[in-house]
Structure 1
Amino acid sequence: MSSDNGPGDGGAEGPPPEQLALIRESVRGADVPRAKPRTWRGAALAKDRPVARVLVDKGVLHLDRYFDYAVPEELDADAQPGVRVRVRFGAGRHRVRDGRREGGGLIDGYLIERRDESDYSGPLAALAQVVSPEPVLGEELLGLARAVADRYAGSLADVLQLAVPPRSARAEKRASPEPLPAPPAPDAGTWARYEYGPAFLDALASGGSPRAVWNALPGPEWSEEIARAVAATLASGRGALVVVPDGRTAARVDAALTDLLGKGRHALLTADAGPEKRYGQWLAVRRGSVRAVVGTRAAMFAPVRDLGLVAIWDDGDDSHSEQHAPQPHARDVLLLRASLDKCAFLVGSWSCTVEAAQLVESGWARPLTAGRDQVRRTAPLVRTVGDTDLARDEAARAARLPSLAWQAVREGLKTGPVLVQVPRRGYVPRLACAQCRAPARCAHCAGPLQAQDAGALRCEWCGRQEHSWHCPECGGFRLRAQVVGARRTAEELGRAFPAVPVRTSGREHVLDTVPDAPALVVSTPGAEPVAEGGYAAALLLDGWAMLGRPDLRSGEDALRRWIGAAALVRPQGDGGTVVVVAEPTLRPVQALVRWDPVGFAVRELAERAELGFPPVSRMAAVSGTPEAVAEFLAAVESPPDAEVLGPVPLPPTLPGRPRRPGAPPPGEQWERALIRVPPGSGSALAAALKTAQAARMARGSGEPVRVRIDPPDIG
């Protein structure tokens, strides 16, 4: 890709050598002549390659390098590259007694390589223990982890904590099954509904590496279509990896693969399996016994042999964004794998993210879509109603539903279940034009505006005040706050339809399926259960609660969640109807009516390119106390084309409330600055931030500063 966000960007080659040298010099000073390790009194060293280069499990940037240790003769056979080891590290590590270095606490690590000589001239400490002779860190996984660490300005040890699951001795003792022969290539099946679907499968089966952005048709067939793509890859003698947002979705792909290929041909990697079972499955993949993997976010690092396909479903789901350092996104990790391993790439969803549209726009990937006639045959009828169109009868007023929505529920309940999607509580309203409802944005950086206590407007990105705002769309000068979602929806619907059972699905209790019988199913976005035979109708309530969030992705995310719910409804020919309660003229609502998420994503991409927003640009968020942020920004040698927005205050964490990712500790006042660079400078920005953070940690600066590359929320 020509864009900075494409495959290979953000650290596949690593930071420049001079920046790595700064990190190393902050730890141990200038390089010294190489020397063989000294023998110890009463201790024999390995005769062949007596130096072990070890990565210690310390996720701090100024220690993001390898350390040399001597290999005792008794550990020679087990101390092979890729195994887990324990070494002495920390205080007292440099103390020498009776000719050998000792002291320091024991710490876990990975043996990276064996060497004849060391860069260190003094006596080396010995490996304390080989935890297991099982090599868990191969060259491909190590290279991927290093690329991810450099892209996200993080440490290699932090990435490996995400990539390699905790050890289970019982799982290691069990032998993995023998690999099964490659299955035959599958037929096209429902891929025939897409213009280039059969050609995509043929390319996979013949050993090719096609790259596609797949806009899946509504309905339950998507899991079977993923299974056929995996089967075609296995038929070529290669492996396949599929990453999905949650365990429910993984179970559907797991079932589809089992139906198509039988048992034993793929591994399911999810947290629900438990540590021992999951580690056993992971070992089977690393040993080559299983060539296909389906799993949630952590499976993006699965060590699949001869990788031929990486696929991700619903890449816009926030579950794909890792919350532990260095906080990588599964889509970007799979893009790196596709680039490093030269394998096929597939990103699929009922909707389409702006990042996926950029892959097509740049020419790196090809679109995989169905014709408009096929879309109309499979999609439900979508109708819109403004949020001011209130119901006219008693039952509708009790449920606070517009009459059109109430009628859709009543008709749908005659033939099957009806889905009601209600936004989660906690959505923060933002300001919009009172006349056309276009979001109010800063004239300097196009960030979202918020009202201060004195009534003045301030940008949430760059902190500038706006004293004479007017709407660039219609010229209006009045502002309004967006509508907050309805509460107690299930109870209100139950009163309006007393003879109908009401089921709820949400964060506390998520349903997987519901029977094909009349019922009201009230669900939050992303927790919608699948109805046997499809829903007869769906209501998408309080659209402003999602469209009004102070976030760059509010429109894209609202459309994705609406389409995710509407895709569970029966086709229009079978009576399927969807009613969305939102302003009909808004772009996301119109995209839902036309069932055109790709067109919406393309227009969003063009608008963000004009305004300098991600993914066309790259951004980094720097947060901490005002003094620490100012000190850090002064120390960062940013690329010449970098632009600093802010800093601006972050909302405080209230006592007794859970702390949001990136939020300040309770009682502390933090600020956040955004650093924006144009295409082509993302790698340089990540390297500069990593170097500055490493130097700061080496000096022992007290106040923490948090750095996140490509933050998902910049509102």
Structure 2
Amino acid sequence: MVEELPVASVRLVGVLPHLDRPFEYAVTPATATAGAGMRVRVRFSGKDTEGIVLGRHAAPTTDRALAPLHRLVSEDVVVPPAMMRVCEEVAERSAGTVGDVLRLALPPRHARAEKADRAAEAKEADAMDAIEPAEEAEAEAGPDADASSTTGRPGDRYPGLAALLSRAGSPEGPVPRASLTLDAVDTWTEVAADAICDLGEEQGALVVAPDRRDVMRLSRVLTARGIAHEILAGSEGPEKRYRTFRRILRGATRVVLGNRSAAFAPVANLALAICWDEADDLLEEPRAPYPHTRTVLQCRSAEERCALLFLAASESVTLRALADHGYLARLEPVPGPVTAVRPRIVAMDEYLREREGPSGRSRLPQEAMRVIRRGLERGPVLVQVPRSGYVPAIACTFCHTRAQCPHCSAPLSLSGRNGPLHCRVCGRREDGYRCPECDRTQVRAMVVGSTRTAEELHRAFPDTPLKVAGGAHGALEDDAIPERAIIVATPGAEPAPPGRYAACLLLDADALLGRAAFDADVEAVRRWRGAISLVRSADDGGEVLVVGTSTLPAIRDLVAHRSSFFLDRVLADRQELDLPPFSRVAEIVGEREACRSFLETAELPDGVDVFGPVDLEGPELIDRSRAVVRLEPSRSRELADALRAGVAARSARKAKGSLRVRLDPPDVF
């Protein structure tokens, strides 16, 4: 074997950007079994470096003597050829290196876990050989044979889902991809479990969710249905994580659940990939090259031809844009009575405020107290309050329209308590600001506090159990909610009781809309719909009260049922302002001189807009700057290639100063 194919092409993990390419090494008798996808150790630049074998060759491409492979770490094929192509595509889309993507895709090897799993694999093989054909047939016809009954399943309310699953894993025809915005009455875990049940016995499924609580909720549903699965989560210890990874690698289970890092899980015969709540910021990778989970799953869907399904309680702008361009199909439910698929949703309009008198303008009007009392008669009540710590936005004191930069459309900020308005993206100072809606000049910062809510509710309902979730109070388990209790939670931290909430109160809606970000309104709707999805339907007595300005488009979208007016308006505004998804945006952050030097030397495409660099504010950000570059989406690959080449050139020159380049950062504006 060594004589026939003596050269191994190796991709190194975690090397400098300008060295991100395959290197050739000589195969030794000790590493003769090294094959494509296996882990090896090599000497590179005087250091012991990890690498992945790309393939074996009969002759080298250079006249120089080749260094030998230092050691074959394991004979496990940890990166199959298809996964290597996925990593290369993710690196190109993210303007990063393949080595960095491999570091995200592969958990660190754990020798003890590998040894234990090899022993378990041998025992499983012996047990399977001992099963007689008759016993196997009896097991297949056991009590779980009817577990896939489709009577009254939530997934049956979405006819397009059956069509997508019928083509999942098909080697011919277009790859099915779809987004599904669930009605509030439908639980995403049940819909995902229905989809997994409808797959073939040999077809694999991958489900990625932002939060570990979401993963455990789906795990409980699958366990109740008797569906074997593995959980691959970053919160596990290195030994357990690697043992789980190896079980998935050898095909011990066909269903894998996990968080962001599970998007690279080597599921055998992958036919369906599901992503829950794609717009959650937890699915943004914080390590280089910062790929979004959506990007990884898109690359896997193209390379492995697996069906791709995005589930959400609220449609995101990105998914809507992908659907408008024909990349995704939008799956709609079977029409039904509104009272059967969602709770009764009411916003504090002018009529209710006038009827309440002076309390109608307060933060907790009497109508909110009545909703809580009615809800406590039937079950627990959820009170959602904005998360503390949001950067306060600046808004008009009269009509509450957020102040935006007239040059780049980013939110304006105040310099100090009474300083001038300025833009943190392009650096523009706005001394003569006028509201575009009412032409007034007075503005104010929108500041939110959440601790006071629990204190006020405790005084109003002293005999009612009250629990706080989120922030410094930590998470609250789903089964730790009393039957009739008030749960005060920040967005995203709401526990999900088995019987759902009887009522929900969305407080400080205007403050959540006033977050200093260009997507504050879309994000607020997503957070609200996430809370609404935990409330019972109107037929079961569920009701929701939104305390905010009822005429705002985002709040009106909550009251309307399956209306597309809000997203249509958001997309129209972003197209007019040249904001994502109608532009490809990159952020360059680093030391002041490094940032300026990169912009001067990088060969950016013609027509690119450059904002900044602007000095960052804060005691820990001294001498650090940020620049934003923007280009039309049709030329996004040009921008990614230019940024990638610029980083590699900077690395080859050994330029001084730290620098970070991110494509499509979530908080750029």
Normalised by the size of structure 2, how large is the TM-score?
0.90
User: CA offset at residue 645 of structure 1?
Assistant: 1.5
Aligned partner of 1:55 in structure 2 is 11
1:128 to 2:70 alignment: yes
CA distance in 2 between partners of 1:211 and 1:667 (Å):
42
Q: How does 1:383-532 map to 2 (within 5 A)?
A: 383-385=346-348, 401-453=364-416, 455-507=419-471, 508-513=473-478, 514-515=480-481, 517-532=483-498
1:618 deviates by 0.7
Asked whether the 8 Å contact 2:169–2:270 carries over to 1, the reply is no
Q: For residue 168 of structure 1, report the CA deviation from its aligned partner.
A: 2.0
Q: Residue 200 of structure 2: which of 222, 227, 234 is its match?
A: 234
Q: Name the aligned partner's letter for residue 150 of structure 1.
A: E
* Residue 20 of structure 2 is aligned to residue 64 of structure 1: yes
Q: Give the fraction of aligned pairs with identical amino acids, expressed as a percent.
A: 40
1:490 Cα offset (Å)? 1.9
* Distance across 1 between alignment mates of 2:415 and 2:540: 51
Q: Could you tell me whether the CA contact under 8 Å between 2:387 and 2:450 is conserved in 1? A: no
Q: What is the one-letter code of the residue matched to 2:63? A: S
Q: Which residue of 2 aligns with 1:583?
A: 549
Aligned residues: 640
Residues 599 and 338 of structure 1: CA distance in aligned 2, closer, same or farther (over 3 Å): farther
Counterpart in the other structure of 1:312: 275
Q: Are residues 1:669 and 2:623 paired? A: yes
Tell me, yes or no, if structure 1 residue 544 matches structure 2 residue 510. Answer: yes
Counterparts of residues 19-168 of structure 1 (less than 5 Å): 46-77=2-33, 79-90=34-45, 104-168=46-110
Gap regions ≥5 residues in structure 2: 129-135
Summarize deviations over 1:99-124 as a string: whole Å, max 9, x none: xxxxx222222222222222332222
What's the secondary structure of 1:637's corresponding residue?
A: coil
Q: Residue 243 of structure 1 is aligned with which of 188, 196, 208? A: 208
Deviation at 1:708, TM superposition (A): 0.5
CA distance in 2, matches of 1:204, 1:58: 35
- Name the residue aligned to 2:638: 684
User: In structure 2, do the counterparts of structure 1 residues 340 and 597 end up closer, same or farther at CA, with 3 Å as the change threshold?
Assistant: farther
> How far did 1:471 drift?
2.7
C-alpha contact 1:204 1:229 (8 A) present in aligned 2: no
- Name the structure with the higher helix share: 2
Deviates more, 1:64-73 or 1:110-119: 110-119
Query: What is the CA–CA distance in structure 1 between the aligned matches of 2:169 and 2:73, rounded to whole Å?
Result: 40
Question: Residue 585 and residue 600 in structure 1: after superposition, are their counterparts in 2 closer, same or farther (change >3 A)?
Answer: same
Matched, 1:627 2:593: yes
Give the secondary-structure state (helix, strand or coil) at the position aligned to 1:337: helix
- Closer/same/farther in 2, CA of residues 84 and 195 from structure 1, 3 Å limit: closer
Could you give the per-residue CA deviations for residues 57-100 of structure 1, whole angstroms, max 9, x where no partner exists?
Answer: 234211111222211122212x222111111122xxxxxxxxxx
Task: State whether residues 352 and 598 of structure 1, in contact with CA within 8 Å, keep that contact through their aligned partners in structure 2.
Answer: no
Contact 2:165 2:307 in 1 (8 A): no
Q: What is the one-letter code of the residue matched to 2:529? A: I
Structure 1 residue 375 displacement after superposition: 4.2
| SS class of match (1:480) | strand
Q: What CA distance in whole angstroms lies between the structure 1 residues aligned with 2:445 and 2:20? A: 47
Aligned residue among 321, 344, 363 for 2:307: 344
Aligned partner letter, 1:53: S
Partners of 2:565 and 2:221 in 1: CA distance:
30
Q: Which residue of 1 aligns with 2:132?
A: none
Separation of aligned partners in 1, 2:299 and 2:608: 24
Q: SS state of the match for residue 199, structure 2?
A: helix
The CA RMSD measured in Å over matched residues stands at: 2.7
1:254 matched to 2:219? yes
Label 1:164 to 1:409 Cα distance change in 2 as closer, same or farther (>3 A).
Answer: same
Against the structure 1 CA distance between its residues 485 and 598, is the aligned structure 2 distance closer, same or farther, given a 3 Å change threshold?
Answer: farther
Q: Residues of 2 paired with 1:667 and 1:364: CA distance?
A: 40
Q: 1:310 Cα deviation (Å)?
A: 1.5
Matched residue of 1:228: which SS? helix
The separation in 1 between residues aligned to 2:609 and 2:281, in whole angstroms, is: 27
Deviations 1:357-377 (A, max 9, x none): 012111221111225644442
The answer on whether the counterparts of 2:36 and 2:81 sit within 8 Å (CA) in structure 1 is no
Amino acid at match of 1:696: R
Greater Cα shift, 433-442 or 466-475? 466-475
* Unpaired stretches in structure 1, ≥5 consecutive residues: 1-44, 91-103, 655-665
Q: Aligned letter for 1:255?
A: R
Deviation, structure 1 residue 693: 0.8
The CA deviation string for residues 577-617 of structure 1, in whole angstroms up to 9 with x for no partner, is 11122211111111111144754333322221221111121
Counterpart amino acid of residue 489 in structure 1: T
**Inter-CA distance 343–123: structure 2 relative to 1 (3 Å threshold):** same
Tell me the CA shift for residue 270 of structure 1. 1.6
Q: d(CA) in 2 for partners of 1:506 and 1:486?
A: 10
Change in Cα spacing, 1:611 to 1:400, as seen in structure 2 (3 Å) is closer
After TM superposition, give the deviation of residue 226 of structure 1 in Å: 0.6
Q: 1:227 to 1:355 in 2, by over 3 A?
A: same
What SS class does the counterpart of residue 493 from structure 1 fall into?
A: helix
Per the alignment, in what secondary structure is the counterpart of residue 499 of structure 1?
coil
Q: CA deviation at 1:379?
A: 0.9
Q: Does the Cα contact within 8 Å between 2:356 and 2:367 map onto a contact in 1? A: no
Report the more deviating stretch, 570-579 or 455-464.
455-464
In structure 2, the residue matched to 1:358 is: 321
2:133 aligns with: none
CA 1:375 to 1:341, structure 2 compared with 1: closer, same or farther past 3 Å?
farther
Q: Report the AA paired with residue 203 of structure 2.
A: R
- AA partner of residue 392 (structure 2): P
Q: d(CA) in 2 for partners of 1:613 and 1:196?
A: 31
- The answer to whether the Cα contact below 8 Å between 2:26 and 2:68 also exists between their aligned partners in 1 is yes
Task: Output the amino acid matched with 2:98.
Answer: L
* TM-fit CA distance, 1:391: 12
Matched residue, 2:660: 706
Please say if residues 485 and 542 of structure 1, whose CA atoms lie closer than 8 Å, have aligned partners that are also in contact.
no
Q: Which residue of 2 aligns with 1:695?
A: 649
Q: Quick one: distance in 1 between partners of 2:611 and 2:401?
A: 23
CA pair 126-204 structure 1, distance change in 2 beyond 3 A: closer
Matched residue SS, 1:249: helix
Q: Does 1:611 align with 2:577?
A: yes
Query: CA distance change for structure 1 residues 349 and 598 in 2, over 3 Å: closer, same or farther?
Result: farther
Distance of aligned partners of 1:334 and 1:597 in 2 relative to their CA distance in 1, 3 Å threshold: farther
Please give the per-residue CA displacement for 1:647-683, whole angstroms capped at 9, x wherever unaligned: 222232x4xxxxxxxxxxx262311111000021111
- Report if the CA contact (8 A) 1:516-1:533 is conserved: no
CA contact (8 A) 1:297 1:330 kept: yes
State the match for 1:212 in structure 2.
Answer: 178
CA distance in 2, matches of 1:348, 1:73: 51
